[in-house]
Structure 1
């Protein structure tokens, strides 16, 4: 399964003491991911962000992403998974808490570099969220929500301040960037390994090796997840299932239904209906 399906608010502070490089995946919620210790590459769609402690990553429910540890040492991070309904519930006409998640192009402006005092505030608020959850006492849900709202106001404020955004350009090595650019430009075609290798004047085995070494996944897996991600965007925009199938590069309708369900846990129609119903409420 490459999608984490959850309608509930989820948050943890985790330390991983061995390399754990998950494949590309997509959430059914929005994610805040703050690196506290370690050295990672964070991939979002076509972008690769080299991130250091203090970098906050922002992903929405349409962005495929993964984190890759660059050393054999442990790393520590905080993640918060936020149901879109939570943001809509607490947003106002003046304050739209979805801003940092949706008011940008897919796979862009995902990183914000926090100052030390902002990291301390973020971690303190999450610690208080943990304490409220663990207490199970009266009003603990409101205490959790109030701390999360403070985090969301801070993050959205920073997101809208150009000079405080992470200025480091997202990048892949040039040879991998060339492969990804070609795939993106021809995603609607029936791509084959021979076709990609010939177009880029590369040995196909070398092509597979450098792509897997950099991204941690195969080029065929990347193409599949890229098409699934594109189809999710089209379905969320209101395209019907047939349109989403062929406008995302799938050549076979039955295969599209099978792969979409395998990756997301939903049929395309159910996913479309869910997204349109959600949009109608707001």
Structure 2
């Protein structure tokens, strides 16, 4: 039996920052997070795959990955892979929403432009670059006065500056380096129809592909079978519904699971907890 995608990383704070440097080539499987992820690419010959799209990264590119999006980096050679990674909880985003601003605007603008990678027109000497440098320094200066508070202030400034640049047009949305257009269309269709019954034969007919070619190409491009992809996304949707106040049975029915018992088993396997403990 093919397993679902692996959930990677844990976040118990509103946000968390890492500076990672790998000197040996890594082989990272497709995975997803319960939280949003921002990656600032510093060095390395890396392609980044997100939901069927692949991007060739350059230094200082900013990668935005929404919670639940399946992704992985591909290291194309043995060069050093260095990056700053920021995990961001949805709660933090929700805490800073008003009629005048939304800190998730940069994510929404990227989605509207069908991209996950932002490339700044000018990086060196910019206020955003200075803020990133300051954020990075807080990882080393842990004993400095009020370092935790200072890091939070800098992170909020980072999001504000990133959103300002996004809104003022000082950024380029990178098109995919390579992608299978048909698979991207299928992924989009699946994500818009998670609550409906979806069969592989119907997908094959809708997108004019043979059943075998569809299944083979989908797994090659996404790292998982169609069934596992749908199950993972439905479970994520069900979990969000339960967190928002829906009953377990209502979430089970709405997300297209055949039976309550199969839903509970799948949920426990995916999240290592029961729906009532979500």
- Name the TM-score, length of structure 2 as normaliser: 0.76
Question: Is residue 2:166 matched to residue 1:159?
Answer: yes
Shifted more, 234-243 versus 99-108: the winner is 99-108
- Offset of 1:152 from its aligned partner? 1.7
Alignment correspondent of 1:19 = 26
Work out the CA distance in 2 between the residues paired with 1:11 and 1:264.
23
In the superposition, relative to structure 1, how do residues 172 and 232 fare at CA in structure 2: closer, same or farther (>3 Å)? farther
CA root-mean-square deviation? 3.5
Work out the CA distance in 2 between the residues paired with 1:43 and 1:72.
20
Please point out which of 47, 71, 82 is paired with 1:76.
Answer: 82
How do 1:173-212 and structure 2 match up within 5 A? 173-181=180-188, 183-184=190-191, 187-197=194-204, 199-212=206-219
How do 1:1-282 and structure 2 match up within 5 A? 1-8=6-13, 9-16=15-22, 17-27=24-34, 29-37=35-43, 38-44=45-51, 48-53=53-58, 54-61=60-67, 63-69=68-74, 71-74=76-79, 75-87=81-93, 96-101=102-107, 110-114=116-120, 115-117=122-124, 118=126, 120-121=129-130, 123-133=132-142, 136-162=143-169, 164-166=171-173, 168=175, 172-181=179-188, 183-184=190-191, 187-197=194-204, 199-271=206-278
Work out the CA distance in 1 between the residues paired with 2:260 and 2:113.
27
- 3-state DSSP of counterpart to 2:139: helix
- Offset of 1:196 from its aligned partner? 3.6
Work out the CA distance in 1 between the residues paired with 2:37 and 2:10.
12
Work out the CA distance in 2 between the residues paired with 1:82 and 1:185.
24
In the superposition, relative to structure 1, how do residues 263 and 121 fare at CA in structure 2: closer, same or farther (>3 Å)? farther
Alignment correspondent of 1:277 = none
- Offset of 1:94 from its aligned partner? 5.3
Shifted more, 165-174 versus 256-265: the winner is 165-174
Work out the CA distance in 2 between the residues paired with 1:213 and 1:94.
43
- Offset of 1:200 from its aligned partner? 4.3
In the superposition, relative to structure 1, how do residues 81 and 125 fare at CA in structure 2: closer, same or farther (>3 Å)? same
Assess if the C-alpha contact under 8 Å between 1:132 and 1:144 holds in 2: no
- Name the TM-score, length of structure 1 as normaliser: 0.75
- Offset of 1:66 from its aligned partner? 1.0
Assess if the C-alpha contact under 8 Å between 1:112 and 1:164 holds in 2: yes
- Offset of 1:269 from its aligned partner? 3.8
Assess if the C-alpha contact under 8 Å between 1:34 and 1:77 holds in 2: yes
- Offset of 1:43 from its aligned partner? 0.7
In the superposition, relative to structure 1, how do residues 175 and 70 fare at CA in structure 2: closer, same or farther (>3 Å)? farther
In the superposition, relative to structure 1, how do residues 247 and 182 fare at CA in structure 2: closer, same or farther (>3 Å)? same
Alignment correspondent of 2:3 = none
Where is the helix percentage greater, Structure 1 or Structure 2? 1
